[in-house]
């Protein structure tokens, strides 16, 4: 079929729109109209974050946004780092439509799993670990989780919390990195009688629509997430840890998930602003839930270098002192303690802690800012010392664990 001028111009307009949005957003960042970059390094990180979101928007909208033939899109990982992800979770999202029925199948190797409104402990699982979950607007028998009846794939971009994949989110938890388990697997397919047999061939109007959609998402995400980071800095004290709360910081219209009248996730944070010789010492009792974590983010709420620096620690990785407390140090220089959270030399950023499904114990951590040379005086006498060789071994092990998880 020959190329019509109408098709050529439709695709040109969509492509020009995306490239124009990328240029305009980059110019706005460079001109100080997005976020609150304080120095050249923070501006460079902002421009890099915008570039990552541009790549994400095109990949997701072009290849992972067909609600008739859905695929899981993994994001908030070591590639697409926006949104303050938990390093111990693999996030899978897919685009669905509300007038269809879907089946999710998989096996999570016995680890904790969250599929929509279902948790692993209320999903029927076969003896070999496999499971099936139906996903639809109307209830079905067996494992089932709902979606809104009005869903039409990722055609709309929400003003609040824009993420790639608004249909169904699956979180696979992996907080015991030492377990030698298979990585698990997930599939999703449309199963109702009206499901088409094959996807249609790509057409110029379809491609133009996909690129336009990617443009809308890219612009919204680039602005909302980076303004969110700036707003959190404006709303919270500097270098002080906040008490746990079910509301994630910087999000207004959010309904915290509740199970049997209890919140299942509590957040707290430190907006840090540290010089090279500064440190923040954090001390906390332990919650009684199955999992908790402390995670660093850069100034734009992105995951920093999680492979080559110790930027997160969870309940299984953290050293606990003899008095039952956990103590952490947040700093650019290595303080020689096990629970060091390495800022990588960035002056500003965030520390985010999570108490996951606590029962009765909801501890409130404390923090103290001090010089790096004073850190040891804040720890018990029997607190371990980590030398350079031990730290190198810890990072090497971490790199291997994450490489296995992400198949890098």
List pLDDT tens digits, range 245-256: 988 887 766 766
Q: How far apart are the C-alpha atoms of 317 and 339, rounded to whole Å?
A: 9
Which domains are seen in the chain, by residue range? 5-231 (no CATH), 237-406 (2.60.120.1600)
Per-residue pLDDT of 13-46, as tens digits, reads: 999 999 999 999 999 999 999 999 999 999 999 9
**Residue from 129, 124, 133 nearest 105 by CA:** 133
Partners of 51 in the β-ladder: none
Say what the pLDDT of residue 77 is: 83
Cβ(378)–Cβ(281) below 8 Å: yes
Quick count: other Cβ atoms within 10 Å of Cβ 2? Answer: 4
Q: How far apart are the C-alpha atoms of 41 and 31, rounded to whole Å?
A: 15
CA distances from 280 to 162, 179, 299, 355, 384 (A): 32, 31, 17, 20, 18
Tally DSSP H helices, then E strands, for the chain.
Answer: 4, 19
Average pLDDT over every residue of 54-67 = 96
Token pair 């492979």: residue? 307
The H or E element spanning position 247 is none
Q: How far apart are the C-alpha atoms of 346 and 230, rounded to whole Å?
A: 16
Say what the pLDDT of residue 158 is: 85
Cβ(249)–Cβ(354) below 8 Å: no
Quick count: other Cβ atoms within 10 Å of Cβ 217? Answer: 26
Predicted TM-score (pTM) of the model is 0.93
What three-state secondary structure class fits 119? strand
Least confident of 29-38, 73-82, 100-109, 340-349: 73-82
Q: How far apart are the C-alpha atoms of 385 and 179, rounded to whole Å?
A: 26
Interior angle at CA 171, CA 195 and CA 395, nearest 5: 135
The pLDDT > 90 percentage for the chain reads 76
Least confident of 25-39, 178-192, 207-221: 178-192
Burial class (CB in 10 A: 0-12, 13-18, 19+), 361: exposed
Please provide the size of the chain in residues: 408
Q: How far apart are the C-alpha atoms of 354 and 265, rounded to whole Å?
A: 7
Average pLDDT over every residue of 182-211 = 94
Q: How far apart are the C-alpha atoms of 79 and 383, rounded to whole Å?
A: 36
Bridging pattern class, strands 144-146 and 130-136: parallel
Q: How far apart are the C-alpha atoms of 326 and 188, rounded to whole Å?
A: 40
Q: How confident is the model at residue 257 (pLDDT cuts 50, 70, 90)?
A: low
Average pLDDT over every residue of 158-179 = 86
Per-residue pLDDT of 284-297, as tens digits, reads: 999 998 899 999 99
Q: How confident is the model at residue 179 (pLDDT cuts 50, 70, 90)?
A: confident
Cβ(326)–Cβ(339) below 8 Å: yes
**Residue from 382, 381, 353, 378 nearest 365 by CA:** 353
Partners of 55 in the β-ladder: none
Q: How far apart are the C-alpha atoms of 186 and 105, rounded to whole Å?
A: 6
The sheet carrying 185-190 orders its strands as 144-146, 130-136, 102-107, 185-190
Q: How far apart are the C-alpha atoms of 293 and 312, rounded to whole Å?
A: 7
Average pLDDT over every residue of 263-276 = 93
76: left (phi over 0), alpha (psi -120 to 50) or beta: left
Q: How far apart are the C-alpha atoms of 372 and 223, rounded to whole Å?
A: 36
Token pair 């629509």: residue? 209
- CA dihedral defined by 77, 80, 84, 87, rounded to 10 degrees? 10
Quick count: other Cβ atoms within 10 Å of Cβ 192? Answer: 11
């Amino acid at each position: 079929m020959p190329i019509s001028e109408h098709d050529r111009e439709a695709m040109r307009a969509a492509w020009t729109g995306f490239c124009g949005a990328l240029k305009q957003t980059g110019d706005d960042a460079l001109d100080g109209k997005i976020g609150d970059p304080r120095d050249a390094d923070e501006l460079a990180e902002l421009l890099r974050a915008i570039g990552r979101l541009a790549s994400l928007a095109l990949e997701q909208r072009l290849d992972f946004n067909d609600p008739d033939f859905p695929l899981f899109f993994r994001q908030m990982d070591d590639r697409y780092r926006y949104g303050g992800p938990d390093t111990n979770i693999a996030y899978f999202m897919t685009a669905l439509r509300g007038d269809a029925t879907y089946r999710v199948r998989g096996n999570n190797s016995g680890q904790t799993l969250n599929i929509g409104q279902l948790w692993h402990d209320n999903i029927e699982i076969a003896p070999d670990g496999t499971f099936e979950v139906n996903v639809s607007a109307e209830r079905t028998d067996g494992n089932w989780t709902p979606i809104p009846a009005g869903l039409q794939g990722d055609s709309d971009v929400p003003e609040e919390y824009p993420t790639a994949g608004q249909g169904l989110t699956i979180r696979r938890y992996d907080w015991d990195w030492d377990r030698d388990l298979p990585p698990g697997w997930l599939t999703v397919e449309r199963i109702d009688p009206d499901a088409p047999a094959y996807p249609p061939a790509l057409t110029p109007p379809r491609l133009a629509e996909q690129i336009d959609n990617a443009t809308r998402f890219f612009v919204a995400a680039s602005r909302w997430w980076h303004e969110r980071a700036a707003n959190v800095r404006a709303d919270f004290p500097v270098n002080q840890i906040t008490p746990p709360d079910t509301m994630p910081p910087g999000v207004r219209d959010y309904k915290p998930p509740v199970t049997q009248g209890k919140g299942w996730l509590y957040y707290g944070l430190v907006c840090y602003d540290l010089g090279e010789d500064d440190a923040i010492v954090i001390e906390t009792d332990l919650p009684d839930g199955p999992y908790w974590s402390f995670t660093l983010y850069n100034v734009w709420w992105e995951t920093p270098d999680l492979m080559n620096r110790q930027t997160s620690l969870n309940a299984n990785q953290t050293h606990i002192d003899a008095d039952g407390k956990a103590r952490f140090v947040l700093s650019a220089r290595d303080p020689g303690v096990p629970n060091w959270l390495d800022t990588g030399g960035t002056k500003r950023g965030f520390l985010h802690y999570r108490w996951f499904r606590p029962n009765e114990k909801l501890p409130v951590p404390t923090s103290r800012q001090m010089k790096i040379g004073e850190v040891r005086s804040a720890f018990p006498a029997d607190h371990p010392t980590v030398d350079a060789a031990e730290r190198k071994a810890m990072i090497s092990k971490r790199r291997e664990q994450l490489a296995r998880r992400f198949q890098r």
